[in-house]
Amino acid sequence: TLGPAMARSRMVLGCMLFLAVLGSSFHWVAGSATASLEQLQGDHMMLALSQGSMARGASEAGGRLLALEAELATAVGARAQSDEKRDRSAEGSGQEGHLGRILAAVQKLTVGVVNGTEHLSEAAVTALSSIGEEMQQIRNTTAVTHAEDQDEVDRARDAVTKCDEWAHIKNASRVTTREEAHAVCRSLEADLQQTKATACSKYLEAMKGLDEPDCAASLPADPQTAELPSMLSCVQETADWWEDFNASVTPLAVSCDEASAAHEDKKSSCDTAQTTYEATFCSYRTQLTGACSAYDKCRTSAVAEQEDVQAKVRVAEASRKAQYVAAAHIECYLEVLLASPQQQ
């Protein structure tokens, strides 16, 4: 098969040769604008020279096409006349300009043939058939290039969407889990702190309420023999008091100690949980900062690329639409021209 560049060369050469055939083989209705043979032959020669190297490397089908066009150019050159020059710059010298001129020429010819003022020669029928093949090729090519452009647009869109992957940080859920665990631990620690405070406060108040027997305060430091019986009696009374006091405060002391130990254990556990949570958060923060930076760079680059692709595709789209419509119209006129008089 021929490549896109060779296909464009075939279309342009065929279009220019068709205009030459029209200018030399038919008598145009009064007032119709036709290209001069001199300019048409100049365009054909320039195109042939510019595509020379491509033609040498083209397929066998491309060689047959160029041979056919050369044969038609020779036949046209012997009979064509230069009646007037047209302003080709207004229509453009590219593929769209050539298609526009072909469309105008075929349209006028169709009107003449249908009205009976123009008659097709064998050379004209051959040229028209060749142009019809080129128009079909143009329409096929527009479908291919449309699909290719759509792929580019989709690729650019997907590249922008792919940047969202940077927004998903793996450790985000782990940070939340450990934060919640630490918060629960500190809440339990606070409860144990309150239990400790209550228990130890009762113990402290009990110890502050020592109220030993009065005799204990008056025991002599250097007792006499006569004082010993009273001192013994005081000691016995005091011993009974201390026994009762010990029985009442000992449970309070145990409660305070146990509450203090439980609080200390929980505080140590919460401190460990806090350290783990903080380390996880710092790691997450580092990843988040890097991810945000990478996301911003990714979006900036991808969006710029997407806008560039879309801008180029819009230009190609407008050109492709114009070529497709012109080719379709030309094919329609060619069906009329190549049909039998009854069908016309």
Residue 18 CA to residue 124 CA, distance in Å, equals 8
Cβ-proximal residues to 272 (8 Å cutoff; 6+ apart), any chain = none
In the predicted model, is pLDDT for residue 98 greater than 50?
yes
Residue 134, both tokens: 């080129």
Residue 279, both tokens: 């380390």
Render pLDDT for 133-180 as a digit per residue (tens, 0 to 9): 888 998 999 999 999 999 999 999 999 999 998 877 777 788 999 999
In the predicted model, is pLDDT for residue 15 greater than 50?
no
- Which of 26-35, 62-71, 125-134, 328-337 is the least confident region? 26-35
CB atoms within 10 A of CB 242: 14
In the chain, the percentage of residues whose pLDDT exceeds 90 is: 36
Mean pLDDT for the stretch of residues 323-328: 91
In the predicted model, is pLDDT for residue 36 greater than 50?
no
- Which of 1-10, 147-156, 214-223, 270-279 is the least confident region? 1-10
pLDDT-derived band at 341 (thresholds 50, 70, 90) equals confident
Cβ-proximal residues to 36 (8 Å cutoff; 6+ apart), any chain = 23, 82, 83, 84, 85, 86
Phi then psi for 209, rounded to 5 degrees?
-95, 30
DSSP codes of every residue in 76-93: HHTT--------GGGT-S
Residue 173 CA to residue 281 CA, distance in Å, equals 11
21-30, 190-199, 313-322 — most confident range: 190-199
**Average predicted confidence (pLDDT) for the chain:** 75
